[in-house]
Amino acid sequence: ELISFMTFSAAPTALLPVLRQQRDPAADGSALFWPGAVSFLVVMSLGAGGLYLFRSEVMHALAPELSGQHRALGERLLGIVAWVLTCRGLEGYFRGWLFHRKHFIIPSLSAILINLVVLAAIFGLYDRLGIETLAVGWLCGAAAAALCTGVAAARIIRPATFRVVWSPLVRDLLR
């Protein structure tokens, strides 16, 4: 939880003022919104894809004592949860923008939204999916939180329309 908090909350919040200062200290920074969102989407998706591809190795490293059946279940769960990285990364990015603009309610409610979606998944899907319901619920909750914070951030920031994906900022962040 501590690592995810630092990754998904602290890093984007600390990164935004630095990036704004590098581009144009006098600007409000809204020109960085879409390039940064694409950058976070790419970086977090690469991380999630790597975790998904190497889930058996990760399971072996984390729990080498698991038997075949339990290891297979762990790999299935990790394969689903890996994509939470992408959603939580975007949510953290949008949360950073909202914090930067002194809007705290939506980011605070996003954790509640994730938990409500997980609970709804448990009540609605547990009979069909069993324990995998938790992973599916967490992924859906993270996607819902990213969507809500993204919409709120876009409405508050009012960035320029999405135009060029491979701007110099995006290239610099990917390097």
pLDDT of 142 higher than 70: yes
Contact residues for 95 (Cβ-Cβ < 8 A; gap 6+): 8, 9, 12, 13, 107, 110, 149, 153
Backbone angles phi, psi at 165, to 5 degrees: -75, -45
Confidence of residue 12 (pLDDT cuts 50, 70, 90): low
Residues 69-74 have a mean pLDDT of 92
Among candidates 25, 35, 42, 39, which has minimal Cα distance to 157? 35
Residues 111-124 have a mean pLDDT of 94
Portion of the chain with pLDDT greater than 90, in percent: 45
Contact residues for 143 (Cβ-Cβ < 8 A; gap 6+): 87
Backbone angles phi, psi at 162, to 5 degrees: -65, 120
Contact between residue 36 and residue 169 where contact means Cβ atoms under 8 Å apart: yes
pLDDT of 119 higher than 90: yes
Q: Determine the Cα angle at 149 with ends 163 and 13, to 5°.
A: 85
Q: pLDDT value at position 29?
A: 63
Distance CA 46, CA 60 (A): 21
Q: pLDDT value at position 2?
A: 57
Backbone angles phi, psi at 158, to 5 degrees: 50, 60
Backbone angles phi, psi at 60, to 5 degrees: -65, -40
Residues 64-75 have a mean pLDDT of 91
Backbone angles phi, psi at 63, to 5 degrees: -145, 75
pTM: predicted TM-score of the whole model, two decimal places: 0.78
Residues 10-37 have a mean pLDDT of 65
